[in-house]
Every structure is written in C-alpha cells, then in structure tokens.
Amino acid sequence: MKVDLFDFNLPESLIAQTPLLNRSDSRLMVLDKNTGGLTHTVFRNITEYLKPGDCLVLNDTKVLPARLYGVKDETGAKIEVLLLKQLESDEWETLVKPAKRVKTGTEIIFGEGKLKAICTEEHEHGGRILKFKYEGIFYEVLEALGEMPLPPYIKEQLDDRDRYQTVYAKERGSAAAPTAGLHFTNELLQLLKEKGVHITFLTLHVGLGTFRPVSVDNVEKHDMHAEFYQMPEETANIINQVRENGGRIISVGTTSTRTLETIASANNGKIVPSSGWTDIFIYPGYEFKGIDGMITNFHLPKSTLIMLVSALAGREHVLHAYETAVKEEYRFFSFGDAMLII
C-alpha cells in the first residue's frame, strides 16, 4: 500500500497556531464510518452524539516541560535538549541540538547551575543519553526551567502552558499532548456523566515518534515507534461491562485507540489490566477489536495518524472528509478542530 494514497493538499494557513479561548468552542465534524456522511457542529454539542451506556476512554498522560536550554560548561555554546524517555535513576534518553557540540563526557549547565547534565552515550540523529545532577526533586526543577515541547509546526509561543495539557492530565511522562482531549472542559465531562456516558482513563505516554514523518514509499515498511501504556483494572472492568451491555467504546485520540487495540488484539477482544510498550501500527485492512468509534483531530498528510483514522472509517471517506475540512477552513493539528467517527 503506497503512502501517497494518504496525501491531500493542506494550506499552511489552516494549521492552528494557538488554542481557542474556550476549549469546547472548537468545531466538530461528525463522520459516519459506514456511509461517509458528514455533519458539522461545535465540540460542546458532542453530548448529542453520545448515548447513555456509551464509554469514553481518555488518555490522562501529562506533558513534561521537556525542552531545556543550556550551555556547554567549557565554551558557553548554546545547547537545546529535549527529554524523551527516563531510563534508570537520573538518566534520560534525549535529543540535543546542535548534536555535534555534545560528545560523551560533555557537561551542559541549565539555569545557572540549578541543573547539570553529563553526556554518557552518543546515538544517531542527535540522540544522547544524559545523566542529570541537581538538588531537590527533579520534576520541580524541570517545572522551573523547562518549556513545553510544542510540535514543530507550531511557531507561536504559548502564553499559558496548561493549554497544552488536557484538563484531566495526571500521569507525568509525555513528550506531546494527546490533543484530541484538549477540547474537553470539566463542565462538558460532567454533562456527559449526567447523561449516563461512562468516563474512563488509561495512560499512554506520547513519544516524539508521533511527529516523525513516514519516510518509506510503502506503508508496510514503516517502523512504528514504541510508547509506554498502562491500563488500570477499574477502566478495564468498565469497558468490558459496557461492551457486554451493548454500549459503544469511543476512544479519545489515536493514543487511546492504539492502547485499546494493543490490549484487545492480545486478549481475544477483551480488555485486561496491563502495562507495557506498544508499537502497534494501524492502517487500512486492520480489523478493530477494542473500539467502536473515536474522537480525533485533523492530521498531517501521509502520517501514520491519518492511516489509523482511514482504517476505522475507510480511506475514501476520510479523504473526502479532509477535502471538506480544507474547503470549510477547519483548523488542523494540535490546537485545531475535532472529528467524531461513529
């Protein structure tokens, strides 16, 4: 299957650079996955499309202020560091720029010495293993010195870092936000609960592979990045009960989808409490076992995310929906508008 099958024309002007003042004021396109039919509304009206007994599954990961700016101890040269994954103790897998300035043994200083790091390993494409030194609690130091790692296509500065967090973010560890959840407010979640919709949570820490372009011609040859997930027992029990009662499982975002499908695929369609790493790659031809519908944002051309959405709703239906979104000037990507597929 050719990657070019998932291409479409996207004017740069439609890439949302800033969040809306009110989260749930974003537009919502509802796509019927069976017919391809489209409905246009606003996100706060999602209550009209979810039924009592349905279950929303949200990703409660919390984005780390993972971008750090420091200087080399020897020369004062400026170094940018992006934290990717905590390894053991105070060692982290990172990306550094410019990588040629950071060799094994290089010391980097942040915040006038409040945080220091020594490079212990060099990897390709700017990857470095850094061991950090500090006083106190690492995450508190990071909160004081770090910046939100906004995606590369967002050029504007974010005035309020909480706008790149969901209102229910809890488990620290992501390098990027699960952006489909950014549209929810606490008030909207309460309205859904009052309607009888189950609100449940899992955790998947989003890695930077989310933004990695597909660099091969054939979809099947793309290597998917691995991300860590946790499925709590309470969430698993609710999902299985909803399924038994005939309710729909609606995942919020591609991250929740990948977690549910990873677990369901390994357990004959059942959701079990578990944790681990998933590198599942979902594209057309895949048979869904864990979800009935999903909420998602509008994604990059030729990305693994649009391939996943196409697997659920059909490539032709999705591309028609995206063409319509461009024509109707929907906002795209992290701070953009939303799509409900049911």
Q: Compute the distance between CA of residue 75 and CA of residue 307 in angstroms, rounded to an integer.
A: 46
For the chain, what percent of residues have pLDDT higher than 90?
87
Radius of gyration of the chain measured on its C-alpha atoms: 21
3 near 319, Cβ under 8 Å? no
pLDDT of residue 213 exceeding 80, the answer is no
Count of C-beta atoms within a 10 Å radius of residue 289: 17
Give the Å distances, CA to CA, from 100 to 33, 58, 85, 120.
48, 40, 21, 15
pLDDT at 157: 77
Q: How far is CA 190 from the centre of its chain?
A: 23
Over residues 253-274, mean pLDDT: 97
H-run or E-run covering 318: helix 315-327
**Per mean pLDDT, which range of 41-55, 78-92, 267-281 is the poorest?**
78-92
Residue with tokens 């109707």: 328
Identify the band that residue 317 occupies on the pLDDT scale cut at 50, 70 and 90: very high
Q: Compute the distance between CA of residue 288 and CA of residue 269 in angstroms, rounded to an integer.
A: 9
Q: In the structure encoding, which two tokens stand for residue 298, read together?
A: 């509008």
User: C-alpha angle 67/300/179, rounded to 5°?
Assistant: 55
Over residues 119-142, mean pLDDT: 94
Q: Compute the distance between CA of residue 340 and CA of residue 342 in angstroms, rounded to an integer.
A: 6
**Per mean pLDDT, which range of 17-31, 62-76, 202-216, 274-288 is the poorest?**
202-216
Identify the band that residue 208 occupies on the pLDDT scale cut at 50, 70 and 90: low
pLDDT at 102: 96
Identify the band that residue 195 occupies on the pLDDT scale cut at 50, 70 and 90: very high
Report yes or no on whether pTM surpasses 0.75: yes
End-to-end CA distance of the chain: 25
123 near 114, Cβ under 8 Å? no
17 near 335, Cβ under 8 Å? yes
